[in-house]
Amino acid sequence: MKAVVWYGPHVIRLEERPLVEPGSGQVLIRPRYAGICGSDKKLYEYGVLGTHRPSQPFIMGHEAAGTVAAVGPGVEGLSTGDTVAVNPLLGCGQCFYCQRGEENLCERLTFRSITADGVFSEFFVLPAEQALRIPAGFDLRLAATIEPLSVGVQAMRRLPVQPSDSVLLIGAGTIGLGILGMLRCAGVPRVMAADLLDHACQQAREMGAAMVVNASREDLPQKAAAFFGPRGPDVVIEAAGAPEAQAEALEFVRPGGSVLLVGITGEALTPVNVNRITRSNLQVLGTVRATGESFRAAAELVISGRVRTAGWISQVFPFEQALQAFECASDPAYQLTKCLLEFPS
Ligand SMILES: [Zn+2]
Ligand SMILES: [Zn+2]
């Protein structure tokens, strides 16, 4: 079987790997569609994601949907041929965080493409609890968007936004769009979204942002003041993964308001005006990955159509063209939101 293997920035190879049988409690997954995440793009472009700097080749990807190709001994509730969405995260179930239901912070976390091989391969073995059965016949392209949406679900659990809150969302990539979908579900009408790219702005409009600003050519502070009034928004959510946007988030939020940091930057660190946090009585929160509960909630939202993710999918590439897919996905000139790799059915 073939797999998409990372060797370094801008170096990925299609490699032959042995087909592995599922062991006890495991299933063999045949992915049909797998999404290229912003985090995959950071590893592709720079070879670094936050503090994670891989030193060995690894199989990329963590957003997949497909079918169960084989079932190992002792697996209950899944059969060959079932369609599933893959949760890339597995907590150890034992540590301090797992005991608290915060397996996204697990001390012995397994996360596909980060601590274990990813999903960009024709087959992969997975512990059965990471495969979530979805209705037969459901569009597997949409099912591949469950994982990125789960990050937005988790973010909104971290900072529940009230319908009366005004919100500035900086960054309308897939994660930002998922957050917009969640804000809409929560009945929050006063949302302004900002991005630097036209297609992202267009997507934000379609996901229901009341006001959208292309900050590459429009004056964001002026637009924000007009929309929110001089006091500023109650909540600012940073989903751009850029140091400038993180700094802006802390400046834009009103005194007494909340900032939620979702984006992951590269190695560049953001200088923080701590006095602004103290003197303006800010609440500053971070959020990372998603728990199984958030993953299941995201699946429910996608399957029911309460959050519509079809518009996120800009282009589908055969997985053999992974290199080209990464080149296009990383180049803003192509105006792509979510690229999927397609695997043979
Ligand atoms: Zn991702
Ligand atoms: Zn754990």
pLDDT digits (tens, 9 = 90+) for 62-76: 999 999 999 999 999
pLDDT band at 266 (very low <50, low <70, confident <90, very high): confident
User: What integer is the mean pLDDT of 221-239?
Assistant: 97
- In this structure, which ligand is nearest to the CA of 90? 2
pLDDT band at 270 (very low <50, low <70, confident <90, very high): confident
Distance 175 CA to ligand 1 centre (A): 8
Residues of the chain with CATH 3.90.180.10: 2-149+290-342
Residue type, position 337, single letter: T
Q: For residue 4, what pLDDT is reported?
A: 98
Architecture category of domain 160-286 in CATH:
3-Layer(aba) Sandwich (3.40)
Residue type, position 336, single letter: L
Q: Does position 163 have pLDDT exceeding 90, yes or no?
A: yes
Q: Distance between CA atoms of 24 and 129, rounded to whole angstroms?
A: 12
Q: Distance between CA atoms of 70 and 123, rounded to whole angstroms?
A: 10
Instruction: Give the total residue count for the chain.
Output: 345
The pTM of the whole model exceeds 0.75: yes
**Element containing residue 326 per DSSP (H, E):** helix 322-329
Class of domain 2-149+290-342 (CATH, top level) = alpha beta
Distance 62 CA to ligand 1 centre (A): 6
**C-alpha torsion angle, residues 176, 181, 187, 189 (rounded to 10):** 50
Measure Cα distances from 62 to 32, 102, 147 in Å.
Answer: 13, 19, 8
Q: Please write the tens of the pLDDT for every residue from 282-329.
A: 999 999 999 999 999 999 999 999 999 999 999 999 999 999 999 999
- In this structure, which ligand is nearest to the CA of 105? 2
Residues of the chain with CATH 3.40.50.720: 160-286
pLDDT band at 268 (very low <50, low <70, confident <90, very high): confident
56 phi/psi in degrees, rounded to 5: -120, 155
- In this structure, which ligand is nearest to the CA of 97? 2
Q: Distance between CA atoms of 110 and 91, rounded to whole angstroms?
A: 6
Mean pLDDT for all residues in the chain: 96
Q: Distance between CA atoms of 260 and 152, rounded to whole angstroms?
A: 11
Q: Which two tokens stand for residue 50?
A: 């936050």
220 phi/psi in degrees, rounded to 5: -60, -45
Helix axes 146-158, 292-304, angle to 10 degrees: 120
Strands 63-71 and 26-36: antiparallel
Distance 64 CA to ligand 1 centre (A): 10
Q: What is the CA radius of gyration of the chain?
A: 20
CB-CB contact of 84 with 128 (8 Å):
no
Residue type, position 77, single letter: G
Q: Please write the tens of the pLDDT for every residue from 64-111.
A: 999 999 999 999 999 999 999 999 999 999 999 999 999 999 999 999
> Which residues sit with Cβ closer than 5 angstroms to ligand 2, an ion?
91-92, 95, 98, 106
Q: For residue 345, what pLDDT is reported?
A: 87
